[in-house]
Structure 1
Amino acid sequence: MKLIPAILCGGAGSRLWPVSRELHPKPFIRLADGQSLLQKAFLRGATLPGVTEVLTVTNRELFFKTQDEFREVNKAQLATSFILEPFGRNTAAAIAAAALHAVKAHGEDAVLLVLAADHLIADQEAFANAVAQAAVLAQQGKLVTFGIQPDAPETGYGYIEAEGNQVLRFVEKPSLEKAREYLDSGRFLWNSGMFCFQAGTMLKAMQQHCPDILAATQLCMAQSRRAEGKDLVELELDSASFAQVPDNSIDYAVMEQSDQVAVVPCTIGWSDIGSWTALGDLSVADSDGNRIDGEALLHDVSNCYIQSNNRVIGAVGVDNLIIVDTPDALLVADKARAQDVKHLYKTLKTNGHDAHKHHLTVHRPWGTYTVLEEDPSFKIKRIEVKPGASLSLQMHHHRSEHWIVVSGMARVVNGENELFVNTNESTYIPAGHKHRLENPGILNLVMIEVQSGQYLGEDDIVRFQDVYGRV
């Protein structure tokens, strides 16, 4: 049996704003042990018996960041494959693409284990046992879902009514009264959103229940760019044809329609980390019920979750609050209203505010930049370039740039000239000059960039050459 974990890494994680942003979504949030939810998902699949490849379906904008996350934990140098979506089209399209890839690479009998990138599972041994049961059912032609044994009347999850491995029905998120009935009956499980099936079985089910999604995905993949290297396959989905794929979830499109569905009931310490309350519950409370991540001064404070990695937080005489501080945004919420944080994210996105999209520190394929200060006529950035990495050969119409190297050495193309800029040296890039920044060293290059001009938007860029395919 070939078992291929397929990690779905998308979504905004809007209920975990302001730490989760469009270009730094929930899977990239780091927990107390230093690992991100995405890294934990990778290890969860990669350490199962018989796995030789991990497939990830993610957004094109998150590709290089995802690669960096995997490099930190992929000590066995397991092969990785990526399907890169230009935008989200829900889970049916993502799973169709994953199944089509698996059939082409490994045959119809390959078993796909679909995992969410932003869930947490505390008991890896119990999880591995559940996967082994699911794989047996998958090889019998079943589309298997994982049902979590509920321990509370949760209204934020869908439910599965089951007898053993037989699915009787799927149920939408219930009212509190219904959730209590489900819990008391002992016949209902939480729908985890994880699946296991043979790739060929899923494609046949999609041909039967949602042929439009399958046909549109097949057409898109045939028109998409594919690149292969050592232990890496990258399929970048064509934007125009992917836009024609119907938007639907795998639950609605297939699982709730098929008579081949089975469930594996399991107790694996599962959580979808769906709110700041759930994330806070991962840490130990003090004697007043407070959970603190960072430095906080408290006076007469109880039952609060406070997170700050930059500044000291002071709180006096408050109870049952969520306080999350980031360099450019502060969240204060009643813990009982934790689910409503998503409305703030939606408003920011509707208004086009940058705080929905990225942090002050922005990740790029070559490294990061951090906005230190900005004004309508100038912007100051801290730029960090990874060893051996290079920015694109580019030009700006409306701004000039002054680069000061503070650590490392830079190779710079400035117009017709190429030069090396050492620590405590600088160079000036006039508007309209072609230029490129490269780190030829083995340590990170750190520099300060001062931009001046009438327009300083990130879209004022013309790329001529780019090793990351962004031209």
Structure 2
Amino acid sequence: MAVTHQITHVVLTGGIGSRLWPLSRKSMPKQYLKLFAGESLFEKTINRNGAFSNNTIVVGNIENYKLTDILMSKMEKPFIHIVEAIPRNTAAAIAFAAFASKPDDILLVTPSDHVIEGSDLYESALKQAIVLANQDYLVTFGIKPTKPETGYGYIEFDHENVIAFHEKPSLEIATKYLETKKYFWNSGLFCFKAAKFLSELEKQEPEVFLASKAAWKANKNGFLDYNLSIKIPSISVDYAVMERTKAIKMVPSRFDWSDLGSFESVYDYLVQKGHPMDTNSNIVIGTSRHTSFVGLKNCILIYTDDALMVLQKENSQDVKDVYQELKSIASPLL
């Protein structure tokens, strides 16, 4: 798609990916792992959106900014790097990118750790979003669900109009959502003008707006001050703006999408790409050592140098409990 507007790709790369422990760590979050055909999710994100944007802004944190610098240097990709002193969630992260942009710049905001396939469908959705953004709407992308997923939030919609946002549902409710065809997964992808986003943020969450503005004004070569940053309320962009603004539209999207937020989604992705699997649908990640699963089905063995985990694929969301337990004892395994 030829770029005819000033479009900036804003990459959010502050997450840890705790539900993919022990692969994902503070020192090497999931977006930087070379787990996907020798390429990281971060690299895939940059390459996927390069054809649609004029500029790139990466918003990360003090713990992972060097990993970003290494990959961007390798790709020889010029970019603006905004380094948070402390994570303050996505509302502030996007605000920093908007402050760093011109008012009429269109920001295409994407996480750095999602898998998106189906380039034609993706391009079509972006074109639709850019048209709406130029009309001063804040645009979110809904993804057509392929199963009753309980790990995602949902957007209730009518064509491009958003009716309501819904939290992660029970399996029973998710099944009803799938049947009605009026609920799409909330992707965490956004498109809007920088000034329009800041205007809505100031209206809905003035404290976040003012504290983020103060932190941005005092930045030094993109590095934000800790004492100013800690004053910013930590709130997601969905809660702060998207669920409360009247100027919202949703692009119903049908490209293949996954946030790879759990080992179940990683399992599905790897198996689709031809990852080895035994006759009982068990797989191994992280080692080439011979592994036998006896009396087990649909299991995943995850191996690292200092940790080993075996889990039932369907219980992948429970990995966050393991992470929280290790966090509570300040384990060096994090």
Whether the aligned pair in 2 keeps the contact of 1:52 and 1:79 (CA below 8 Å) is: no
In the alignment, the residues of structure 2 paired with residue 315 and residue 79 of structure 1 have an alpha-carbon distance, to the nearest angstrom, of: 47
Give the equivalent residue in structure 2 for 1:94.
Answer: 93
Whether the aligned pair in 2 keeps the contact of 1:53 and 1:78 (CA below 8 Å) is: no
Alignment of 1:271-420 (within 5 A): 271-284=258-271, 291-292=275-276, 302-309=280-287, 311-356=289-334
Corresponding letter in the other structure for 1:97? F
In the alignment, the residues of structure 1 paired with residue 86 and residue 193 of structure 2 have an alpha-carbon distance, to the nearest angstrom, of: 26
Whether the aligned pair in 1 keeps the contact of 2:282 and 2:293 (CA below 8 Å) is: no
Whether the aligned pair in 2 keeps the contact of 1:121 and 1:268 (CA below 8 Å) is: yes
- Of 41, 52, 55, which residue of structure 1 is paired with 2:45? 41
TM-score by length of structure 2 reads 0.94
Give the equivalent residue in structure 2 for 1:26.
Answer: 30
Give the deviation of 1:311 after TM superposition. Answer: 4.0
Give the equivalent residue in structure 2 for 1:53.
Answer: 55
Identity %, equivalent residues: 38
Whether the aligned pair in 2 keeps the contact of 1:162 and 1:188 (CA below 8 Å) is: yes
Q: Which is greater in Rg?
A: 1
Give the equivalent residue in structure 2 for 1:254.
Answer: 241
Give the equivalent residue in structure 2 for 1:417.
Answer: none
3-state SS in 1 of match to 2:27: coil
Give the deviation of 1:310 after TM superposition. Answer: 6.0
In the alignment, the residues of structure 2 paired with residue 212 and residue 283 of structure 1 have an alpha-carbon distance, to the nearest angstrom, of: 43
3-state SS in 2 of match to 1:316: coil
Q: Deviations over 1:78-111 (max 9, x none)?
A: 4211110122111011011111111xxxx21100
- Gaps of at least 5 residues in structure 2 are none
Larger relative contact order (Cα-Cα within 8 Å, sequence gap ≥ 6):
2
3-state SS in 1 of match to 2:234: coil
Whether the aligned pair in 1 keeps the contact of 2:280 and 2:298 (CA below 8 Å) is: yes
In the alignment, the residues of structure 2 paired with residue 53 and residue 351 of structure 1 have an alpha-carbon distance, to the nearest angstrom, of: 42
Number of equivalent positions: 330
Alignment of 1:168-179 (within 5 A): 168-179=163-174
Alignment of 1:25-174 (within 5 A): 25-48=29-52, 51-72=53-74, 74=75, 77-102=76-101, 107-174=102-169
Q: 1:84 to 1:285 in 2, by over 3 A?
A: closer
Corresponding letter in the other structure for 1:347? E
Give the deviation of 1:317 after TM superposition. Answer: 3.6
Whether the aligned pair in 1 keeps the contact of 2:26 and 2:63 (CA below 8 Å) is: no
Give the equivalent residue in structure 1 for 2:179.
Answer: 184
In the alignment, the residues of structure 2 paired with residue 334 and residue 15 of structure 1 have an alpha-carbon distance, to the nearest angstrom, of: 14
In the alignment, the residues of structure 1 paired with residue 307 and residue 231 of structure 2 have an alpha-carbon distance, to the nearest angstrom, of: 36
Q: Which consecutive segments of 4 or more residues in structure 1 shift more than 6 A?
A: none
* Larger strand share, 1 or 2: 1
- Gaps of at least 5 residues in structure 1 are 227-234, 357-471
Give the deviation of 1:284 after TM superposition. Answer: 3.4
Whether the aligned pair in 2 keeps the contact of 1:135 and 1:196 (CA below 8 Å) is: yes
Whether the aligned pair in 2 keeps the contact of 1:292 and 1:307 (CA below 8 Å) is: no
Give the equivalent residue in structure 2 for 1:463.
Answer: none
In the alignment, the residues of structure 1 paired with residue 271 and residue 103 of structure 2 have an alpha-carbon distance, to the nearest angstrom, of: 46
Give the deviation of 1:186 after TM superposition. Answer: 1.4
3-state SS in 2 of match to 1:154: coil
In the alignment, the residues of structure 1 paired with residue 285 and residue 125 of structure 2 have an alpha-carbon distance, to the nearest angstrom, of: 34
Q: 1:318 to 1:177 in 2, by over 3 A?
A: closer
Corresponding letter in the other structure for 2:73? R
In the alignment, the residues of structure 2 paired with residue 124 and residue 345 of structure 1 have an alpha-carbon distance, to the nearest angstrom, of: 35
Q: Deviations over 1:194-226 (max 9, x none)?
A: 000000000110111011001001111122212
- Of 204, 207, 216, which residue of structure 2 is paired with 1:209? 204
Whether the aligned pair in 2 keeps the contact of 1:291 and 1:304 (CA below 8 Å) is: no
3-state SS in 1 of match to 2:176: helix
3-state SS in 2 of match to 1:205: helix
Corresponding letter in the other structure for 2:54? T
